[in-house]
Every structure is written in C-alpha cells, then in structure tokens.
Amino acid sequence: MQTLNSTSLKTDQLINRDPFLVIEDVSKIYPTPNGPYIVLDGINLTVHEGEFVCLIGHSGCGKSTLLDMVSGFRQPTEGEVRLQTKRITEPGPERMVVFQNYSLLPWMSAFENVYVGLDSVWPDKSKAEKTAIAREHLALVGLTEAANKKPKELSGGMKQRVSIARALALRPQVLILDEPFGALDPITREELQEELLKIWQAHQVTVLMITHDIDEALFLGDRLVMMTNGPAATIGEIMNIPFARPRDRTRIMEDPAYYDLRNYALDFLYRRCGHVDE
C-alpha cells in the first residue's frame, strides 16, 4: 500500500541517523514488604531527533514512571536512559515536562509563570532578553493578550498553553507531555493538538507524549508505543503512523489505513490487554 511504503522509507532514513534518546533495558522495581514489586520490566526504545512518539496504555502500566526516568525525576532500577549518549541522572532544562494539571504558580501571571522558569535556568541572561523570550513564547501559543492574567482567570486550554510556553521557552531538546490535553473539552483539545503540531514542526523538538486517546495519537505521532498492563509492564507493540505531514485531520480520517490502525490499537488495548478491574 502506498502510504505504508512511504513510512518504511521514512523509517529507513531515521535508522541511518544516530539515536538521540535511548531507553535501554530499563526496569523499575520497588521493594515492598511482600517482596519486590516490578513496575516496568525490560523497556527498550530508541527515539530519533525530531521524532514525535506517543505512549498509550492502561492506568498503572507505568507510562508516567517511564517518562519520569526520561525527565530525570526517577532513576531506573536496571538499565539506563541516555540523551545523545549522555546518561540521564537528574532533571534538566533540556528535557521539559508538561503535566495534565498545568502546574502553574497561581499567584503569578501567565508572563511571570514563563519568566520564572527562564530566570532559574539562565540567571546570567539580561532581564530584557528573558522578557523577550517569555513574550515570544506566549505569542507562540497565542496568549499575548492574556500575558498579565493569573491562572484562575484563564480557561483550561489557556492554562495548558502557558505550561507549553513555559516548557518551550527553555528551548528543550525533548518535550515530555504527560496527558496534556486529557482535562480539556474535545474542541479545545483539537485546537491545542493542531497548535502543538505547528510548534513541534517549527522548533524541531523531540516529543514524548502520554495519551489515552487513540485518535490524538494517530493525528500527532510518528509512532505509537503500546504498553502492556502492569505489574511488570513492558512495550507490547510499536505502531508506525504513516500519514504524511503536514497532517490534516479530515484527510487522515479518509485514509483507508486510518481505521485499520485505529481498530488495531483498540484491539490491543481492549482485547489483548483488556482492562483489569480495580
């Protein structure tokens, strides 16, 4: 099929490039009174520079734990995570995280929320320069006019835009998104997805994103990593998402491959890794 051929071409090109972010034999095990509890078991994933990778899996499958080891908030029990051959041992501004709950400081305006990040990472840069960077990134997410508003005066979508601006302002090499649009209504979600794609293309940033929404993954990602259920969760399968970019939502949904991929992912999640009841 034509679309799939074009993917394999693309993948070949990627393979020729050096690996950018490498997750190698990573396991995460917590000791408990009843013996070791294995959260993640033997995760291997190589991400190339500029790639957009989505992760999907049921609650408790350790997706967030995995991303925490990329951001440096946690350490693997076994294996290692490397960014450009350098082992990740702590959080750093080259790997920025955006959470579902925005995590904005409520007493600061949108501008100040972005600025405070710049200030902590680049204390030596001039105020004028940092102000300019903050303004530029607020403009990027369409918030120039709301720059002086406090989080409580902003809608959910606007708050998440501030979080994205704050993360991007530090020019990270990797942007880590932990279900960033999960709390938004579907229309706002679609708008932000489209903005995120534009920003991703303009910034050439590598993105790792957790989502629970198959349509979102198919619209945004180059690859979809499907995780098995925990405990001892691992990568069940990786799906290549072949749609040409720039992507148009309507066009993708007209592609015969779309429903195959969507139904395949649904099948993986609901049948092969059926939900284990609490």
Partner 1 sequence: MSVFVEVDHVGRTFPMPDGDRYIALKNIELKIKKGEFVTLIGHSGCGKSTLLNIIAGLDKATQGGVLLEGRQVTQPGPERMVVFQNYSLLPWLTVRENIALAVDEVMSDRPKGERRGVVEHHIDMVKLRHAADKRPGELSGGMKQRVAIARALSIRPKLLLLDEPFGALDALTRSGLQDQLMQICEENKTTCVMVTHDVDEALLLSDRVVMLTNGPESYIGQVLNIPFARPRHRLEVVKHPNYYSLRGEAVNFLNQQKRGKQRKVKQTAIARHGLEKVNLEIGFIPLTDCAPLVVAKEKGLFKKYGLDEVTLSREPSWKAIVEGVASRRLDAAQMTAGMPLTMTIGIDGKPPLPTVTALVLSRNGNAITLSKHLYNEGVRTLADFKAAITSSPDKIHTLGMVHPSSMHNLLLRYWLASGGIDPDLDVSLTVIPPPQMVANLKAGNIDGYCVGEPWNSRAVYEDLGFVIATDLDLWDGHVEKVLGVREDWANQNPQTHLALVKALMEACEYCDDHRNREEILELLCQPHYVGSAPEYTRPGFIDPYQRGTDAKPELLLRYNQFHIEKTNCPYRVEGLWILTQLARWGITPFPKNWIEVLDRVRRVDVFGEAARDLGMMDIEPDRGSIRLFDGTVFNPDDPISYLNSLKIKRDLRIQEITIDLEAEARGERLEARG
List residues binding partner 1 (CB under 8 A): 1-2, 57-59, 179, 182, 185-187, 212-213, 248, 250-251, 253-256, 258-260, 262-263, 266-267, 269-271, 275, 277-278
Return d(Cα 182, Cα 179) in angstroms, integer: 5
Contacts of 71 (CB under 8 A, 6+ apart): 91, 95, 97, 176
Q: What percent of the residues of the chain are helix, what percent strand, and what percent coil, each to the nearest 5?
A: 40, 25, 35
User: Closest separation between CB of residue 192 and partner 1, Å?
Assistant: 14
The nearer residue to partner 1, 115 or 268, going by C-beta atoms, is 268
User: Closest separation between CB of residue 278 and partner 1, Å?
Assistant: 6
Return d(Cα 101, Cα 160) in angstroms, integer: 8
The nearer residue to partner 1, 124 or 277, going by C-beta atoms, is 277
CB count in 10 Å sphere of residue 11:
15
Question: CA angle, 59 as apex, 58 and 60 as ends, to 5°?
Answer: 110
Burial 194-205 (b: 16+ CB within 10 A, else e): bbbbebbeeeeb
The nearer residue to partner 1, 139 or 276, going by C-beta atoms, is 276
User: Closest separation between CB of residue 251 and partner 1, Å?
Assistant: 6
The nearer residue to partner 1, 37 or 270, going by C-beta atoms, is 270
Q: Which of 278, 266, 207 is nearest to 239 (CA)?
A: 266
User: Closest separation between CB of residue 74 and partner 1, Å?
Assistant: 21
Return d(Cα 82, Cα 22) in angstroms, integer: 5
The nearer residue to partner 1, 12 or 278, going by C-beta atoms, is 278
The nearer residue to partner 1, 10 or 262, going by C-beta atoms, is 262
User: Closest separation between CB of residue 225 and partner 1, Å?
Assistant: 15
How would you class 71 by CB atoms within 10 Å of its CB: exposed for 0-12, middle for 13-18, buried for 19 or more?
A: buried
The nearer residue to partner 1, 127 or 272, going by C-beta atoms, is 272
Residue 254 and residue 214 in contact, taking contact as beta carbons nearer than 8 Å: no
**Collapsed DSSP state (helix, strand, coil) of residue 86:** strand
User: Closest separation between CB of residue 231 and partner 1, Å?
Assistant: 17
User: Closest separation between CB of residue 246 and partner 1, Å?
Assistant: 9
Q: Which amino acid is at 210?
A: I
